[in-house]
Amino acid sequence: MSDRSVAIFSVLTLLGGLAFLGPAQAREPVCKPTLGFREVRFSPMQPPTLERKWTAVLSVDASRCATASGRFSIIFSRMKENAPETDFVEHFTWKPGAMEVSVNFWADEAVEGYWLNDVAACPCRD
């Protein structure tokens, strides 16, 4: 192949790739609420099920969001007396202000750790 053929092939390849990109689309600015744990407690066992309830109060600052709610999740690291530690995810919906979330555990389980995960973005206020 001559140098001229290589140059023409390169230009055609570039133009073909640009055709798939299409026009740039305008995107709305995206924000995220700020969530934080304010209070966390673990209840004593509750008869007759012997379950314990992990409860947290979260503060939600959604002042930058144009929506009144959105999704988020909490990852838990669970300890169990006769089993290996396990991580699992629970999904929730945030609302501005203070909100409470809870998860039930069996009597032989405890929460080793927890952290926020996948806080959904929201459209920004003008």
Query: What are the pLDDT tens digits along the chain (126 aa)?
Result: 555 443 444 444 444 444 444 444 456 678 999 999 999 999 999 888 889 999 999 999 999 999 999 999 999 999 998 899 999 999 999 999 999 999 999 999 999 999 999 999 999 987
Name the residue ranges covered by the structural domains of the chain: 30-123
What pTM was estimated for this model as a whole?
0.73
Which pLDDT score is estimated for 30?
Answer: 84
Task: State which fold the 30-123 domain adopts.
Answer: Immunoglobulin-like (2.60.40)
Give the pLDDT score at 104. Answer: 95
d(CA 104, CA 116): 18
